[in-house]
C-alpha cells in the first residue's frame, strides 16, 4: 500500500514538470513571433511612405518674365498651409507632399499676386506670374528742376503702401507694386512730402508691367538779396522763412541767399511767409529786416533794410579832434554790437546801422567813447536818417607825478615827459619846488621819461595813469657809490691816493686809508678812477658806468700792500736776489770748510 502511494506521487510530479516546460516554450515562441512582426512592419513602412510622398517646384515671375526673389509662396490643402520664399532665380520648392489637390498662392504682405490649382504628384513644376509693376517717378519743381529729398509714397485703398525718398535727380523707383485690379488693392494715392509738408497728391491706377510718371510739384526757387538804404548788399546775414507748416534758413557772406524748392503759398497749410533777416555783428546776430510775403512762383527779390551810415566825431574841451578813441554802439536790439576807432580828424565811421524808428525799431542808441579801456564820454540819442553825425565831447583828467631822489627828497627843475602809447603824442612838464609835475591827459598807458636839469635822460618806464598823484622814487638820482681799492690779494690799500672824475670835473681826491670811499652821484654817469702812488705816480686807471647805488672794487693786480705799496715784480726780484745771495753765501761756507780739511 505504501509503495503504491509513493508511485502515484512520483507520477503526479512528473506531469506538473511537463506542463510548466510546455508553457515556457509557448511563451518563447510568442515573443519570437512578435519580434518578427515588428521587424517586418518597420522594413515595409518606408517603402509604403516613399510611394505615397512627392515634391512640387513653383517659379514666380513678374509680368515681364523676370524672376522674383524673396516672394512668399503658399501651398494650401484643406487646413494645411505650407510657405516658402523664392530664391534669386524665383524658385520655391516644396517636398514631402502627399497626393492630392493643392492651391499655389503668391503673397506680398496681405495681397495675393497670383493663384493656381495644382495636382500632386502630376504637377512637378509650375510657373506663376505675379501681377506687380515696376514704378518709376520723377519729382520736379515749377521750373522743371529735380527735387531731391522728397518723400514719395503709394498707398492703395486696401492699405498696401510703399514709400521712398527721391535722389538728387528727383527720381524714385518701386520694384514691387501690386496691380490695382487685384482684390483688395484698387487705386493708389500718390503723395509727395517735403519737409513734412504735403506738396502733391493724386490718385493713380497701376495695371501695367512698367509705370512711369513725371510729377510737377508746386515748389519754387527764391533768390533774396538784403540791401541797405543805399542799395548796397549787406554781408554776413542769415535769412529765415517761416509759414504755417514750413520753415527754412540760409546764411550768406555776400548778402544774397538762395532757397531751392520752397512750397508755394497756394498750398494748404503754407500760406504767407514771414521773412526775417539778421546781420552778424561783434556781439551776435541782430535783426535788420522783418516782413511778410506770399510766393507762388520763382523770383529774385531785394529786401531793403533800414540800415544807415553814420559818423561819430570826438572833440576835447577845446574843440580839437581826438584820435585813437574806440567808439562802441548799443541800441534796444543788441548791446555793443559795433565798434570803430577815430582817425586823425577824430571821426569814426559806421556802416549798416539800423534806424531807431525803422522797420525793426532799434530804439535809443548809446554811443560810448573809450580810450585804453577807460570810458571818457557817452551820449544817448536816436538815429533817424542816413548820414547823421554824432558829436561827443570828452574831457582830459588830472594826473600828477612827484619825483623823489634815492633818499626821498623832492627833485625840482626836472623835465617829466609823457608819451601817449596810442597816438605818440607827448606832454611835457617841469617839476616845481616840491618835485611835482601836473598834467591834463586822457587816462591810459604812457611812456614816462625824466630828464635832469642838464637835459640828460635819467629814467624811463611804461606805466598806466588813472588819475590821482603818483610818487616816483628815482634810484638813479643822488644815489650813493662806494669804491673799495685793494691789492692783488684783496687787502684794502693803506697808502696811495684815489682821484675820481666825472667828465672833466674832479669829484674828489682822497688818500687811501683802508676804508671804502663813499660819494653821492646826481645821475647815472661814466666815471674815471685814477689810483696814484704816494709820490703822485699814476698806478692804475679804470673807467666805470654807474646807474644806481652800488659798490665797486678797484683791484690793483700788479701790487701788494706790504708796509707800503709794492709792485709784485719788484718784490719777486728782491726775493730772487735774496735767495741768490743765500745760495752764494752757503756755497762759500762749504768751500772754506773743504779747504780747511785739506790743509
Upper half-sphere CA count for residue 227 (Cβ side, 13 Å) = 10
φ and ψ at 19, to 5 degrees?
A: -65, -45
Percent of the chain surpassing pLDDT 70: 88
Pick from 468, 405, 411, 408: nearest CA to 434: 411
Q: What is the mean pLDDT of residues 231-237?
A: 96
Does the reported pTM lie above 0.85? no
Q: Is the per-residue pLDDT at 42 higher than 50?
A: no
pLDDT band at 8 (very low <50, low <70, confident <90, very high): very low
Q: Is the per-residue pLDDT at 579 higher than 80?
A: no
Percent of the chain surpassing pLDDT 90: 70
Alpha carbons 289 and 530: distance in angstroms, whole number: 85
Q: Is the per-residue pLDDT at 90 higher than 60?
A: yes
pLDDT for 583 equals 76
- Contact criterion met (CB below 8 Å) for 259 and 248: yes
pLDDT for 27 equals 62
Report pLDDT digits (tens) over 414-457.
999 999 998 889 999 999 999 999 999 999 899 999 999 989 89
Pick from 562, 588, 592: nearest CA to 575: 562
DSSP string, 407-451: TS-B--S-EEEEEETTT--EEEEE--TTSEEEEEE-SEEEEEEEE
Report pLDDT digits (tens) over 338-390.
999 999 999 999 999 999 998 899 999 999 999 988 899 999 999 999 999 99
- Of the given ranges (282-291, 548-557, 590-599), which has the lowest mean pLDDT? 590-599
Instruction: Express the helix, strand and coil content of the chain in percent, nearest 5 each.
Output: 15, 55, 35
DSSP 492: B
DSSP 268: T
Q: What is the mean pLDDT of residues 401-421?
A: 94
Q: Is the per-residue pLDDT at 571 higher than 70?
A: no
Report pLDDT digits (tens) over 107-135.
999 899 999 999 999 999 999 999 999 99
Q: Is the per-residue pLDDT at 241 higher than 90?
A: yes
Residue bearing the bigger pLDDT, 376 or 21: 376
Domains of the chain in start order, with CATH, are: 54-129 (2.60.40.1120), 132-216 (2.60.40.10), 219-304 (2.60.40.1120), 307-393 (2.60.40.1120), 397-473 (2.60.40.10), 479-568 (2.60.40.10)
Q: Is the per-residue pLDDT at 34 higher than 60?
A: no
Q: Is the per-residue pLDDT at 7 higher than 90?
A: no
390 strand-pairing partners:
312
Q: Which three cell numbers stand for residue 437?
A: 609835475
- Contact criterion met (CB below 8 Å) for 306 and 294: no
φ and ψ at 373, to 5 degrees?
A: 65, 10
Pick from 471, 428, 430, 467: nearest CA to 447: 428
Pick from 140, 172, 178, 175: nearest CA to 159: 178
Report pLDDT digits (tens) over 127-169.
999 999 999 999 999 999 999 999 999 999 889 999 999 999 9
DSSP 141: -
Alpha carbons 93 and 85: distance in angstroms, whole number: 9
User: Average pLDDT over the chain, rounded to whole?
Assistant: 88
Q: Is the per-residue pLDDT at 28 higher than 90?
A: no
pLDDT band at 44 (very low <50, low <70, confident <90, very high): very low
pLDDT for 220 equals 97
Q: Is the per-residue pLDDT at 35 higher than 60?
A: no
pLDDT band at 559 (very low <50, low <70, confident <90, very high): confident
Amino acid at each position: 500500500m505504501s509503495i503504491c502511494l509513493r508511485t502515484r506521487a512520483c507520477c503526479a510530479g512528473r506531469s506538473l514538470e511537463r506542463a510548466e516546460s510546455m508553457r515556457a516554450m509557448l511563451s518563447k515562441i510568442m515573443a519570437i513571433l512578435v519580434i518578427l512582426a515588428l521587424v517586418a512592419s518597420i522594413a515595409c513602412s518606408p517603402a509604403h511612405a516613399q510611394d505615397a510622398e512627392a515634391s512640387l517646384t513653383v517659379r514666380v515671375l513678374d509680368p515681364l518674365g523676370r524672376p522674383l526673389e524673396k516672394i512668399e509662396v503658399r501651398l494650401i490643402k484643406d487646413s494645411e498651409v505650407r510657405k516658402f520664399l523664392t530664391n534669386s532665380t524665383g524658385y520655391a520648392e516644396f517636398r514631402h507632399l502627399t497626393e492630392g489637390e493643392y492651391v499655389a498662392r503668391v503673397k506680398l504682405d496681405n495681397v495675393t499676386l497670383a493663384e493656381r490649382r495644382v495636382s500632386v504628384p502630376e504637377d512637378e513644376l509650375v510657373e506663376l506670374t505675379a501681377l506687380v509693376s515696376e514704378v518709376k517717378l520723377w519729382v520736379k519743381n515749377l521750373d522743371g528742376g529735380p527735387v531731391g529729398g522728397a518723400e514719395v509714397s503709394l498707398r492703395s485703398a486696401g492699405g498696401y503702401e510703399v514709400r521712398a525718398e527721391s535722389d538728387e535727380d528727383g527720381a524714385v523707383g518701386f520694384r514691387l507694386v501690386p496691380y490695382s485690379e487685384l482684390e483688395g488693392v484698387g487705386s493708389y494715392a500718390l503723395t509727395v512730402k517735403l519737409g513734412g509738408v504735403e506738396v502733391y497728391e493724386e490718385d493713380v491706377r497701376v495695371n501695367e508691367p512698367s509705370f512711369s510718371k513725371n510729377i510737377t510739384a508746386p515748389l519754387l526757387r527764391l533768390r533774396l538779396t538784403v540791401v541797405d538804404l543805399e542799395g548796397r548788399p549787406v554781408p554776413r546775414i542769415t535769412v529765415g522763412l517761416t509759414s504755417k507748416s514750413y520753415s527754412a534758413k540760409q546764411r550768406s557772406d555776400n548778402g544774397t541767399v538762395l532757397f531751392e524748392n520752397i512750397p508755394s503759398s497756394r498750398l494748404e497749410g503754407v500760406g504767407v511767409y514771414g521773412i526775417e533777416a539778421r546781420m552778424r555783428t561783434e556781439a551776435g546776430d541782430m535783426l535788420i529786416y522783418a516782413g511778410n510775403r506770399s510766393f507762388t512762383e520763382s523770383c529774385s527779390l531785394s529786401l531793403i533794410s533800414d540800415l544807415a551810415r553814420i559818423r561819430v566825431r570826438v572833440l576835447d574841451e577845446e574843440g580839437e579832434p581826438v584820435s585813437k578813441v574806440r567808439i562802441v554802439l548799443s541800441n534796444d536790439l543788441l548791446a555793443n554790437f559795433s565798434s570803430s576807432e577815430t582817425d586823425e580828424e577824430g571821426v569814426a565811421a559806421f556802416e549798416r546801422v539800423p534806424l531807431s524808428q525803422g522797420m525793426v525799431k532799434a530804439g535809443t542808441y548809446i554811443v560810448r567813447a573809450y580810450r585804453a579801456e577807460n570810458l571818457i564820454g557817452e551820449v544817448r540819442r536816436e538815429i533817424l536818417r542816413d548820414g547823421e553825425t554824432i558829436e561827443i565831447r570828452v574831457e582830459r583828467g588830472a594826473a600828477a607825478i612827484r619825483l623823489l631822489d634815492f633818499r626821498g627828497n623832492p627833485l625840482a627843475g626836472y623835465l617829466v615827459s609823457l608819451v601817449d602809447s596810442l597816438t605818440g603824442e607827448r606832454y611835457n612838464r617841469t617839476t616845481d619846488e616840491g618835485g611835482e609835475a601836473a598834467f591834463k591827459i586822457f587816462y591810459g598807458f604812457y611812456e614816462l621819461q625824466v630828464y635832469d636839469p642838464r637835459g640828460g635822460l635819467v629814467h624811463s618806464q611804461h606805466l598806466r595813469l588813472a588819475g590821482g598823484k603818483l610818487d616816483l622814487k628815482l634810484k638813479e638820482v643822488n644815489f650813493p657809490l662806494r669804491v673799495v681799492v685793494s691789492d692783488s690779494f684783496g687787502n684794502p690799500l693803506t697808502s696811495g691816493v684815489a682821484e675820481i672824475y666825472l667828465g672833466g670835473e674832479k669829484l674828489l681826491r682822497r688818500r687811501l686809508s683802508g676804508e671804502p670811499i663813499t660819494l653821492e652821484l646826481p645821475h647815472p654817469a661814466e666815471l674815471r678812477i685814477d689810483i696814484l702812488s704816494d709820490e703822485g705816480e699814476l698806478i692804475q686807471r679804470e673807467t666805470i658806468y654807474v646807474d644806481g647805488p652800488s659798490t665797486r672794487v678797484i683791484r690793483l693786480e700788479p701790487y701788494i700792500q706790504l708796509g707800503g705799496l709794492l709792485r709784485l715784480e719788484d718784490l719777486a726780484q728782491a726775493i730772487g736776489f735774496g735767495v741768490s745771495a743765500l745760495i752764494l753765501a752757503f756755497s762759500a761756507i762749504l768751500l772754506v770748510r773743504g779747504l780747511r780739511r785739506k790743509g
